[in-house]
Amino acid sequence: MKQVNFILAVESYLVRKGMAVVLQRIPGASVVKEFGSVDLLTRYLEHHGMDFLIISDTLFANATDLYMNNPALLERTILLNRDPSAEDRGKKTRGCISLSEEKEEIISKINELLNPYFRDYRANTHGSLTDREKTIVRLLSMGLTNRQIADRLFLSTHTVTTHRKNIIHKLGIKSVSGLTVYAIVNNIITIDEVTSKHER
């Protein structure tokens, strides 16, 4: 699983922890370090990398030197504003969050930022099976072999194998028995339709 590293720089302990808890709710986002002052943040960034910096407006105002020496940092900065009406104010940061925003708003903003990082990962875990893949899972649960499935669906066995690989990739389930139980609990097949091992 790919991981996107965040650094938090907020003077208020409560706000910092609150932000960290929200980030924990986002798969793949990880808070690697928290700072309450610009000094420590500057020193840390001299030696360490990160993907995004979430910084409060107060600390941002104190960090002019940091940004002067490292202009590329702006591109990776998310501003945390106390004043909800204070948009980006032409500061050219990557984005901004306001303290008064609700959890869902914050999460969707951050998810948007993460999208380019996660295109593959999300497609794998959040994408459900296609109709064709569901059909194949269904037939597998009924005890058909790759060959039989290929004949039934007028496909080559090679295509069926490719579908099966994609299914394994999406669900992380390899065995037919695992797929069968998956198919039942996801209403792709009923228990009555399943063929048990000794019937095969």
Partner 1 sequence: MCQAVLKHHQLLPLLPRFNIKLGFGEKNVEEVCRLNRVNTDFFLEIANAYLDEDYIPQTDLSLFPIGSVVAYLTSTHDYYLHIALPKIESKISRLLEGSNLSEKERGLVAGFFDDYKKEFLDHISREEDSVLPYILELEKQSMKEEPDSGFLRSLQNDTIKEFAQEHDRLENSLENLSKLIIKYLPPFEDFDLCHQVLTDLSDLVRDLVDHAHMEDKILVPRVIELEQQLTRKFNAG
Contact residues for partner 1, defined by CB under 8 A: 1-3, 5, 17, 20-21, 24-25, 30-34, 125, 171-178, 180-182, 184-185, 191, 194, 196-199
148: helix, strand or coil = helix
Cβ closer to partner 1: 152 or 169?
A: 169
Which of these, 12, 103, 108, lies nearest to 95 by C-alpha position? 108
Cβ closer to partner 1: 80 or 150?
A: 80
Considering the complex, what minimum distance in angstroms separates the CB of residue 12 from partner 1?
A: 15
Cβ closer to partner 1: 68 or 198?
A: 198
Considering the complex, what minimum distance in angstroms separates the CB of residue 92 from partner 1?
A: 29
Cβ closer to partner 1: 98 or 180?
A: 180
Which of these, 67, 65, 9, lies nearest to 37 by C-alpha position? 9
Considering the complex, what minimum distance in angstroms separates the CB of residue 121 from partner 1?
A: 9
14: helix, strand or coil = helix
Q: What are phi and psi of 52, to 5 degrees?
A: -135, 145
Considering the complex, what minimum distance in angstroms separates the CB of residue 95 from partner 1?
A: 22
Using an 8 Å Cβ cutoff, are 118 and 28 in contact?
Answer: yes
- Rounded to whole angstroms, how far apart are CA atoms 178 and 83? 52
